[in-house]
Amino acid sequence: MSRTCILLEWLSHSYFVICGVMQSKRGRLDRYLCSQLHTHRKAVRELLLSGRVCVDGLIVKDMDRQVDEFSRIQLDEQILQANAPVYVMLHKPIGVVSATKDTQHKTVIDLLDCEARDELHIAGRLDLNSSGLLLLTNDSRWSDALMSPTHKVDKVYRVTLANPITEEYIAAFAEGMYFGFEDITTQPAKLVILADNVAEVTLHEGKYHQIKRMFGRFRNPVVGLHRLSIGDIVLDEKLAPGESRALTVAEVASIR
Ligand code: URA
């Protein structure tokens, strides 16, 4: 048995190799090691001081070194954590639910064929009867940046209404609307009339059923809602409904 395995057996009372994913986004290396190796800080300090722990290929001796879920963490030859960030664009079809599990409907996760699909979360849901660009990732810092109202990432939708749209909608969307239920006023939104009953709407936020509720103020039901883009990430026209692809490096970087 190798030195590492003996140590791990001692630390964890188990012969099995430990390979754990950090639950929090970012935290101290010593806390991660205590939890993964089921040991106390004194033992972890000794491991670190003896130069047996590497983070991203470099020996680390600091107890308070910060690591995240994508730091590669190694004890001797043993890899404790090695996760790659994954970013996916899906053309969400109507009738598929934006959730990771559902008892009634097919979920967006069911449509993916990538290996890491069960580790992904959705960065900005779409309603069951909405379609278009949906982003999924296992990188919570990236999705937080994308969803944060302070980053003001544009989300652009093509909206088809039951009745004609008039010019007064433009000012009402730009001004913001008060929603008593949440006690909030929507941030200024841009509305461009494309045809009698078709508009392009740009939002910086994503409140519950926001677009439907905003058009609801005019008693004009939404009959079609399709997301075209999020920031600089535009739904790839080569993707048929239900198809997905990995984001490019430039698309990922556009959100940071
Ligand atoms: N607004 C809605 O009402 N529904 C969506 O799916 C997205 C934005």
CB 57 within 8 A of CB 72: yes
pLDDT at 231 over 60: yes
Cα separation, 33 vs 39, in Å, equals 8
* Residue 241 Cα to ligand 1 middle (Å): 17
Asked if 171 and 75 sit in the same domain, the reply is no
Question: What are the angstrom distances between the C-alpha of 130 and each of 2, 13, 80?
Answer: 55, 51, 41
For residue range 40-68, list pLDDT tens digits in order. Answer: 999 999 999 999 999 999 999 998 899 99
Among 31, 63, 81, the domain-final residue is 81
Find the domain containing 172 and state its range. 87-255
Q: Of 68, 102, 127, 236, which residue is the catalytic one?
A: 127
Q: Which protein residues are within 6 Å of ligand 1, measured from CB?
A: 126-127, 130, 209-212, 225
Asked if 139 and 77 sit in the same domain, the reply is no
For residue range 185-195, list pLDDT tens digits in order. Answer: 999 999 999 99
pLDDT at 9 over 60: no
Mean pLDDT of the chain: 89
What confidence tier does 20 reach under pLDDT thresholds 50, 70, 90? low
Among 81, 110, 135, the domain-final residue is 81
Where does 13-82 have alpha helices with state H?
29-37, 41-49
Among 81, 96, 111, the domain-final residue is 81
Asked if 138 and 57 sit in the same domain, the reply is no
| Joined tokens for residue 256 | 């940071």
* Residue 207 Cα to ligand 1 middle (Å): 8
pLDDT at 26 over 70: yes
pLDDT at 211 over 80: yes
Question: What are the angstrom distances between the C-alpha of 217 and each of 163, 172, 227?
Answer: 13, 9, 21
The structural domain count of the chain equals: 2
Asked if 245 and 142 sit in the same domain, the reply is yes
For residue range 124-171, list pLDDT tens digits in order. Answer: 999 999 999 999 999 988 999 998 878 889 999 999 999 999 999 999
